[in-house]
Amino acid sequence: MKEHNWIKIALTPFSWVYGLITSLRNLGYDFQLFASKKPSQFVISIGNLTVGGTGKTPVTEYLTSLFSSKTPTAILSRGYGRKTNGFVLATATSTPAEIGDEPMQYFLKFNPDVLVAVCENRFHGAEHIALAAPEKQLLLLDDAFQHRAIARDINLLLNDFQRPFYQDLPFPAGRLRETRTGAGRADAIIVTKAPARLSETDKEKVIQNIQKYSKREAPVFFSFIEYGAVKSYAEGPVSLKKVKMAAGIANPLPFAAHLRARFDVTEEVVFRDHHNYTPADVEELIKNLKNDTFVVTTEKDMVKLKPLVEALGAAGKFAYIPVKVSFGNDTERFHKWIFKQTGHLFQAER
């Protein structure tokens, strides 16, 4: 711990430099020295100040489920980790290598009702979507808080309850992509991965810390993760007792804790976030795997692993656990707020 603290102290001056550079860039947009263009769609951006693991994917899926039945919706992502460049529209033949694992997950879950596309330049991506599908009135931007070249109508900032931005530093001493003051651009802040039962006193403490950097009028909503029922890669029913965990996500600790609380976890295999799985990885995962043990992954990992697992005829030994976000007691308040901001597109549920 002491060694870690000394490393952080040594890197702090570099964080000041990095923070200064990002602040100057933001000032350039604030004073319109850099162009920020508004696409034809109504744009909701979902992003964060922290690198990875804040729960953007479940929140994006929540908003997609909430809105796609009310208005034509599209999701635009950078497509992190893909091996392609430029604008790519997700289709039935797309692979995670072509569009990225998270966009692939969106496509598998919401196709054909929701258009999914990837593009490094979000404004150009929005223009392509407008040409390909002009009926799509709502555009959800996945992980675009720092991508200020595209103007948005609603800017949602996610704050991980376990790793709050207000206790962190910019790179390289911390995990922030910019300084904490970036929270001032948010129209609302969603605290993710909070305990399902959080006292009002604890909530107020978090809100007070957030409001040191956010706009005073920006509401703060609390959400938590709900784990779904286990699903087999082979699409059949599955009953688990002993499991071998495999995860390539930014923060596998909550997933590991969930498995330990419910199953006999024989082994935990952790890969880097957005890991590009290979047949050799699958062979290593099933090597010496006992008949009563399943390899259990996240849904994000399943998207990339399933084709490899099926090719080796091992789908019956793999399972995954989907997750979704819940706003709990904040559900009604969040719906009321978001529908008020989008009143010309949606009608609030009654």
28 among annotated binding-site residues: no
**How far, in Å, CA of 14 to CA of 19, rounded?**
8
In 12-87 the beta strands, taken as DSSP E runs, fall at 42-48, 73-77
| φ, ψ of residue 322 in degrees (nearest 5) | -75, 155
In 161-263 the beta strands, taken as DSSP E runs, fall at 188-192, 220-222, 224-227, 231-232, 242-247
Contact 75, 64 (CB under 8 A): yes
100 among annotated binding-site residues: no
Distances 78 to 2, 86, 117, 170, 298 between C-alpha atoms, Å = 37, 9, 8, 22, 21
52 among annotated binding-site residues: yes
95 among annotated binding-site residues: no
Contact 111, 70 (CB under 8 A): no
22 among annotated binding-site residues: no
342 among annotated binding-site residues: no
The dihedral region occupied by 12, where left means phi > 0, alpha psi between -120 and 50, and beta the remainder, is alpha
**How far, in Å, CA of 345 to CA of 264, rounded?**
48
**How far, in Å, CA of 207 to CA of 294, rounded?**
41
84 among annotated binding-site residues: no
57 among annotated binding-site residues: yes
Annotated binding site: 50-57
Annotated binding site for ATP: 50-57
